[in-house]
């Protein structure tokens, strides 16, 4: 059955959607190609992305032959702002005004019969004046907004397009001063002095992090960070398509809305052709607007299509099934004359997207076992524990944030470590179409913040009007993606008011908060509201739907019995599970570490002192106290004046970060079937924007820290945890299973007790176990004193738990009863490395190099860390091992190395550096 719904009228026919035959697919693709080849039959779009020039205000600096996307920093110096002390030394760039110029030709004779000539700017960063042939077209003030100008009256054969961009630093200051003159202060005015940042980032609708953050540099960007296009059409152009999928007992239904732009202020008529090559035998003609006009004020065509359930393949998050995507294509013909089309009305606008069939619910029901509500996601009617990380912009310069190789590398890395959700954080950008397409194809669900973070914001009429455009344009662009799970209007702004972060106790700030987020952002998101989509979250963290009872500003937005929480505490031992909350959903938490010394060397200037640069780039208000106390609890960190201090600090910081994040994540995963009903853990943060102390798991150059290597195990669909409970001095052993089905035959757990002085376990206890599909089996509570007794003490031994079937290990974890500073009988493991296999294959423009490495040891090696030395191989940008930072408790182990390079690379044992904790201890 096919159902069409247009303007609330439902039309029923006897047609059933069936897949195309191969011949029909080929025929349709041929017709698509023919249509695109024929300019007379489609809207003409000319991209003005080449031959731009740039000059500063007094014309002392000029750059030519610029290709969009572009920014002033990158046009002048590429990515050098990320090197040495250039975040400060290049700040003068942001204090000047800059003008982009483009000269282009137009055949006005050919275009004479085209009614509208439209100039569309997809992304201007940020406060700018746009002029064509010296006529002012308009002013931009929001980098997230698409601006369009009808330019027929200004267009000539030879044209000069100028985009004059004002210094964002001075533009922000000017707006803040204007508000202060009216008696309004909008905090925070300036960041912490440690940020080396700029003030009043909340005055502008631009990437908030570009003025600095606690993990990132200040690079107040300016530029044309997306394409510029000339569009020639007569009536209307398709901008976006929204598709919401849902099902009844017999059919999957697509509710489709096609959003259009029209330059004229006149209602129009249209005919839409819909192609779904894998679902419909023939194209579907939506003809209700052939006679009934479409309003130019809100130009949208709505219809509904249904398909039998057994003809549809579901889309699943990573780890639960495949990611089947269905291509959809739309062609619009539009005209003004109610008598019908003319020859020139054959000009058509086209749009292609892909969708997936899945349902997503956010379940907030009363908790039976205690107080509060659940906060969990159901996908395709199944409760799914959301595990993953937070994503900051791929680059601090927005023109580089759309780089496909970087996006693919980061999202593939998330998939490879079993992540099924990432949170696009609210201080960055709305990501590129490619980003969401990659998330769709990899099964990475997106918690999408709107771009407001850690600040109060002005609620002037002009600011709110700009926000409305921003929200609706971006939501309409991305809402159809199956990866989009939920929208949240801001990051940490409710808790900032509740806890008075910025001195905002006045009632005025609560009123303005509600005006911005409830009356504006949520109101605009209602345009995408659908019965099968979760309602937007007003903030993160928040108490979820419970916050409505508090008029969206709760006294404690971090209540663990509701919604989501953010948790950070650097003053306690992060390896101890007892310090953590027991929330419904942890959407932000983490620990800092340092990137590798090799990574630091790539950004270090010839005259730079590394210790000074690290200190400069440590933006945490407490400086290195954010890292060193936790390190010193567990490791023999040398003194700062010792020659090996920085090497040890980098290495130990990565282990500390990995172990603390592992502990916290495992705790949250283990709580899912308890009264706490924890159903989400998204650690902070996946990626970095430069080389600096930060919470990232992957450094700026794409190399994995130990956290990312470890996450492949602690986020695995089958895992074993042994978490210490200090109150009863016992280990809680739990078996976690995210799979919907699990074979429990032959499952057993082995508890292996090792001595630090000997390879292989000295004592093994094994018992049969079972597992719970899509749940947790709470197996044993083992007193620590029952493990470490007799010849085994807290200082000479450690324990390993292995979940296995038929002697095949499925998961493992370790428990260390004492700090590594105090353990006894440690020896030099005398590790040797052998290259056992080499393989090199050709891919597009690169060679994929693969190595198998065998490590041999004579004694237990603590957290074996292996690095590929890149100094002699500059062609290698990043690499990955199959594991890293691992405990070596047998005489040999094999791991694999992969990297891309222009050629097949020949490595030898001297190209690797190996570190262990052993080498820093008194042997």
Q: Which pairing describes strands 445-449 and 484-488: parallel, antiparallel, or unpaired? A: parallel
pLDDT at residue 6 tops 50: no
CA distances, 708 to each of 419, 703, 715, 856 (Å): 11, 9, 10, 24
Q: Which residue out of 431, 588, 666, 713 is catalytically annotated?
A: 588
- Measured CA to CA, the distance from residue 199 to residue 175 in angstroms comes to 11
CA distances, 848 to each of 412, 621, 881, 904 (Å): 16, 42, 14, 8
Average pLDDT over residues 741-764: 97
Helix (H) or strand (E) holding 103: strand 98-105
- Measured CA to CA, the distance from residue 888 to residue 897 in angstroms comes to 18
- Per-residue pLDDT at 17: 36
pLDDT at residue 635 tops 80: yes
Work out the pLDDT band at 109, boundaries 50, 70, 90: confident
- Per-residue pLDDT at 18: 36
Average pLDDT over residues 48-73: 97
- Measured CA to CA, the distance from residue 427 to residue 409 in angstroms comes to 22
To the query of whether residue 278 is one of the catalytic residues in this protein, the response is: no
Contact 923, 827 (CB under 8 A): yes
Average pLDDT over residues 52-74: 97
Helix residue ranges per DSSP H, 1-116? 22-37, 72-77, 86-89
Helix (H) or strand (E) holding 233: strand 228-233
- Per-residue pLDDT at 433: 98
Show the tokens assigned to 97: 């005004």
Torsion sign over Cα 556, 558, 561, 563: positive
pLDDT in tens, 803-854: 999 989 999 999 999 999 999 999 999 999 999 999 999 988 899 999 999 9
CA distances, 671 to each of 367, 385, 563, 677, 739 (Å): 14, 11, 15, 6, 17
- Per-residue pLDDT at 892: 96
Give Cα 818 to chain centroid, integer Å: 37
pLDDT at residue 20 tops 50: no
Show the tokens assigned to 884: 């890293």
Work out the pLDDT band at 160, boundaries 50, 70, 90: very high
Work out the pLDDT band at 345, boundaries 50, 70, 90: low
pLDDT in tens, 75-86: 999 999 999 999
- Measured CA to CA, the distance from residue 85 to residue 617 in angstroms comes to 9
Average pLDDT over residues 374-387: 98
Alpha carbon dihedral 166, 167, 169, 170, in 10-degree steps, equals: -60
Give the burial class of 443: count Cβ atoms within 10 A of its Cβ; 0-12 exposed, 13-18 middle, 19 or more buried. Answer: buried
pLDDT in tens, 528-553: 999 999 999 999 999 999 999 999 99
Look over the chain and give the mean of its residue pLDDT values, rounded to a whole number: 94
Average pLDDT over residues 747-766: 97
Work out the pLDDT band at 59, boundaries 50, 70, 90: very high
- Measured CA to CA, the distance from residue 905 to residue 847 in angstroms comes to 9
- Per-residue pLDDT at 343: 52
Give the burial class of 60: count Cβ atoms within 10 A of its Cβ; 0-12 exposed, 13-18 middle, 19 or more buried. Answer: exposed
Average pLDDT over residues 569-591: 97
- Measured CA to CA, the distance from residue 813 to residue 663 in angstroms comes to 11
Average pLDDT over residues 180-201: 97
Helix residue ranges per DSSP H, 715-795? 784-787
Sheet holding 124-125, edge to edge: 70-71, 223-224, 124-125
- Per-residue pLDDT at 340: 80
Average pLDDT over residues 714-741: 97
Helix residue ranges per DSSP H, 555-609? 597-603
| Cα–Cα nearest to 897, from 909, 691, 662, 697 | 909
Angle at 802 between CA 800 and CA 805, to 5 degrees: 165
Helix residue ranges per DSSP H, 591-750? 597-603, 610-617, 628-634, 645-670, 706-714
- Per-residue pLDDT at 96: 98
What is the distance between the terminal CA atoms of the chain, rounded to a whole angstrom?
Answer: 76
SS3 string, 896-911, reads: EEEEEECCCCCCCHHH
- The rounded percent of the chain whose pLDDT value lies above 90 is 91
- Per-residue pLDDT at 3: 36
Q: Which of 340-344, 361-365, 827-831, 881-885 has the lowest mean pLDDT?
A: 340-344
Work out the pLDDT band at 339, boundaries 50, 70, 90: confident
Does the bond joining 88 to the residue before it have cis omega, within 30 degrees of 0?
no
Q: Which of 93-97, 400-404, 528-532, 919-923 has the lowest mean pLDDT?
A: 919-923
pLDDT at residue 117 tops 50: yes
Q: Which residue out of 364, 492, 524, 713 is catalytically annotated?
A: 492
Helix (H) or strand (E) holding 181: helix 168-181
pLDDT in tens, 668-708: 999 999 999 999 999 999 999 999 999 999 999 999 999 99
pLDDT at residue 464 tops 60: yes
- Per-residue pLDDT at 23: 37
To the query of whether residue 492 is one of the catalytic residues in this protein, the response is: yes
pLDDT in tens, 431-442: 999 999 999 999
């Amino acid at each position: 059955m096919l159902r069409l719904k247009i303007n609330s009228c439902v039309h029923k026919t006897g047609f059933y959607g069936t897949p195309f035959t191969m011949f029909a697919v080929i025929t349709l693709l041929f017709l698509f190609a023919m249509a695109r080849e024929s300019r007379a039959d489609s809207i003409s779009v000319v991209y003005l992305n080449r031959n731009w020039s740039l000059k500063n205000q007094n014309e002392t600096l000029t750059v030519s032959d610029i290709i969009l996307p572009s920014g002033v920093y990158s046009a002048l110096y590429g990515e050098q702002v990320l090197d040495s002390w250039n975040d400060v030394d290049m700040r003068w760039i942001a204090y000047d005004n800059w003008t982009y110029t483009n000269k282009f030709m137009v055949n006005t004779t050919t275009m004479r019969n085209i009614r509208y000539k439209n100039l569309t700017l997809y992304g201007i960063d940020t406060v700018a004046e746009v002029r064509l042939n010296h006529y002012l077209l308009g002013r931009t003030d929001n980098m997230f907004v698409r601006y369009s100008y009808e330019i027929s009256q200004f267009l000539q054969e030879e044209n000069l397009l100028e985009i004059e961009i004002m210094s964002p630093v001075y533009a922000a200051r000017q707006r803040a001063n204007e508000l202060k003159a009216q008696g309004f202060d909008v905090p925070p005015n300036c960041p912490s002095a440690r940020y080396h940042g700029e003030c009043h980032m909340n005055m502008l609708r631009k990437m908030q992090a570009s003025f600095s953050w606690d993990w990132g540099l200040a690079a107040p960007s300016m530029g044309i960070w997306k394409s510029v296009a000339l569009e020639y059409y007569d009536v209307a152009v398709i901008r976006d398509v929204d598709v919401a999928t849902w099902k009844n007992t017999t059919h999957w239904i697509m509710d489709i809305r096609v959003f259009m732009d029209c330059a004229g202020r006149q209602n129009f008529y249209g005919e839409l052709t819909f192609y779904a090559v894998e679902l419909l035998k023939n194209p579907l003609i939506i003809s209700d607007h052939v006679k009934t006009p479409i309003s130019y004020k809100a130009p949208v065509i709505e219809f509904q299509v249904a398909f039998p359930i057994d003809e549809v393949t579901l889309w699943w998050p990573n780890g639960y099934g495949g990611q089947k995507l269905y291509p959809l294509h739309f062609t619009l013909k539009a005209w003004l004359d109610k008598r019908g089309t003319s020859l020139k009305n054959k000009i058509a606008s086209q749009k292609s997207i892909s969708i997936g069939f899945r349902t997503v619910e956010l379940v907030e029901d009363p908790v039976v076992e205690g107080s509060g509500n659940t906060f969990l996601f159901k996908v395709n009617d199944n409760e799914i524990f959301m595990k993953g990380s937070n994503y900051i912009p791929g680059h601090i310069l927005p023109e580089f944030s759309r780089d496909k190789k970087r996006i693919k590398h980061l999202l593939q890395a998330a998939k490879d470590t079993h992540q099924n959700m990432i949170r696009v954080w609210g201080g960055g950008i709305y990501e590129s179409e490619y980003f969401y397409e990659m998330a769709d194809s990899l099964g990475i669900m997106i918690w999408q913040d709107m771009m407001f973070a850690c600040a109060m914001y002005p609620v002037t009429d002009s600011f709110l009007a700009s926000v409305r455009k921003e929200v609706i344009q971006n939501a309409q662009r991305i809402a159809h993606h199956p990866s989009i799970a939920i929208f949240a209007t801001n990051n940490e702004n409710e808790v900032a008011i509740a806890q008075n972060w910025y001195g905002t106790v006045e009632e005025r700030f609560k009123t303005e908060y509600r005006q911005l987020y409830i009356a504006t952002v949520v109101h605009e998101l209602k345009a995408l509201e659908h019965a099968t989509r979760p309602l937007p979250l007003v903030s993160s963290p928040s108490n979820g739907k419970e916050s409505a009872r508090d008029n969206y500003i709760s006294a404690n937005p971090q209540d663990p019995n509701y919604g989501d929480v953010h948790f950070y505490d650097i003053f306690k031992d992060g390896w101890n599970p007892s310090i953590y909350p027991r929330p419904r959903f942890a959407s932000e938490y983490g620990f800092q570490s340092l990137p590798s010394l090799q990574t630091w060397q790539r950004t270090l200037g010839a005259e730079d002192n590394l210790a000074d640069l690290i200190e400069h780039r440590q933006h945490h208000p407490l400086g290195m106290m954010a890292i060193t106390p936790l390190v010193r609890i567990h490791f023999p960190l040398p003194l700062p004046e010792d020659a090996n201090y920085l090497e040890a600090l980098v290495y130990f910081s990565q282990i500390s970060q990995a172990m603390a994040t592992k502990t916290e994540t495992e705790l949250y995963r283990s709580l899912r079937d308890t009264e706490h009903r924890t159903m989400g853990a998204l650690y902070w943060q996946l990626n970095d924007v430069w080389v600096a102390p930060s919470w990232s798991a992957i450094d700026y150059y794409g190399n994995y820290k130990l956290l990312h290597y470890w996450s492949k195990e602690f986020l695995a669909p089958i895992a074993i945890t042994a978490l210490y409970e200090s109150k009863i001095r016992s280990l809680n052993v739990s078996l976690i299973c995210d799979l919907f089905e699990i074979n429990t035959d032959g499952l057993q757990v082995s508890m292996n007790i090792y001595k630090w002085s000997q390879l292989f376990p000295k004592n093994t206890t094994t018992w049969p176990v079972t597992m719970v599909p899509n749940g947790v089996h709470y197996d044993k509570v083992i007193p620590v004193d029952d493990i470490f007794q007799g010849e085994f003490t807290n200082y000479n031994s450690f324990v390993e738990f292995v979940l296995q079937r038929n002697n095949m290990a499925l998961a493992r974890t370790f428990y260390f009863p004492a700090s590594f500073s105090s353990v006894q009988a440690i020896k030099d493991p005398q590790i040797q490395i052998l290259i056992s296999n080499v393989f090199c294959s050709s891919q597009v423009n690169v060679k994929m190099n693969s190595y198998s490495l065998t490590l041999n040891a004579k004694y237990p090696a603590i957290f074996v860390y292996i690095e590929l030395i890149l100094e002699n191989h500059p062609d290698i940008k990043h690499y990955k091992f199959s594991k890293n930072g691992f405990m070596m408790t047998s005489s040999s182990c094999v791991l694999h190395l992969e990297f891309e390079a222009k050629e097949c690379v020949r490595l030898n044992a001297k190209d690797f550096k190996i570190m262990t904790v052993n080498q820093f201890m008194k042997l």
